[in-house]
Amino acid sequence: MRKLKTTDIFNAMRLMKKAEVREQFMPYIDGISEKGLSTEDIGIDGFLYLMEIMAEKKAENAIYEFLAGPFECAAKDVENMELSELIVNVKQLAKENDLGVFMRSLSGLNGKV
């Protein structure tokens, strides 16, 4: 597992655009500071919320492609990953990164692209 990089922000932006979730996800990002969540909780909760609103088939492959970067595997590997392994990987991703900064960066850039 690698740390999140600048390229992941742009991959996430493309994912959000493809899934057409800006209107649903941006209020969540804006409300993060009001919830008083830990960084790990923000990452896990944000990831699960994002997955929920992007459950449409058109976003599925983009999700695999996005996660493949930090998971350091192929998108097909993410697609075929057991749920328990996915959860472990998401928790590790949250633990090793400041996902609050990542989400705020995504929020700030998303309004400009």
With a cut of 90, say whether residue 96 has pLDDT above it: no
**Helices (DSSP H) in the chain: which residue ranges?**
6-19, 22-30, 32-35, 39-53, 57-71, 75-79, 83-96, 99-110
Contact 90, 29 (CB under 8 A): no
Share the mean pLDDT of the chain.
80
Residue 113 confidence class, pLDDT cut points 50, 70, 90: very low
Residue pLDDT, tens place only, 39-71? 677 777 777 777 777 777 778 888 899 999 999
